């Protein structure tokens, strides 16, 4: 059986769900769901600088995957959370 696929909300390309980071709406607030365990609607984003930057500057008003607008300050918070996690993981070698 093939692994589940999702569409990246940065580059809009389909890929394996396991290779992306989930963005979830929890109690009306957008959060990065690194473990992909939080309840609620979610979108997916490749953990690359290119996709994260595209997500931040995207002109998309409402993301269909989460049925909600994500304002620029929230997008920047998501970017920083992903960057912190990736920087921390890259130093553990």
- List pLDDT tens digits, range 45-61: 999 999 999 999 999 98
- The confidence band for 93, taking pLDDT boundaries of 50, 70 and 90, is very low
d(CA 43, CA 22): 6
Q: Any residues with CB less than 8 A from the CB of 64 and at least 6 apart, and which?
A: none
Q: Which fold has domain 5-91?
A: Hypothetical Cytosolic Protein; Chain: A; (3.30.1230)
Q: Which segments within 1-93 are labelled E, that is strand? A: 5-7, 14-16, 21-26, 29-33, 42-45, 62-63, 68-69
Q: Please check whether residue 82 is in contact with residue 52, taking contact to mean a CB–CB distance below 8 angstroms.
A: yes
Q: The whole model's pTM is what?
A: 0.88
Average pLDDT over residues 6-29: 95
* Domains of the chain, residue spans: 5-91
- The confidence band for 89, taking pLDDT boundaries of 50, 70 and 90, is confident
Q: Which two tokens mark 47?
A: 């953990």
């Amino acid at each position: 059986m093939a692994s589940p696929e999702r569409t990246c909300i940065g580059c809009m390309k389909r890929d394996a769900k396991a290779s992306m980071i989930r963005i979830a709406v929890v109690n009306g607030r957008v959060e990065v769901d690194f473990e992909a365990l939080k309840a609620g609607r979610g979108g997916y984003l490749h953990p690359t600088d290119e996709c994260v930057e595209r997500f931040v500057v995207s002109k998309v008003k409402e993301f269909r995957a989460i049925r909600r607008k994500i304002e620029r300050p929230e997008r920047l918070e998501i970017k920083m959370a992903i960057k912190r996690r990736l920087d921390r993981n890259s130093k553990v070698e």
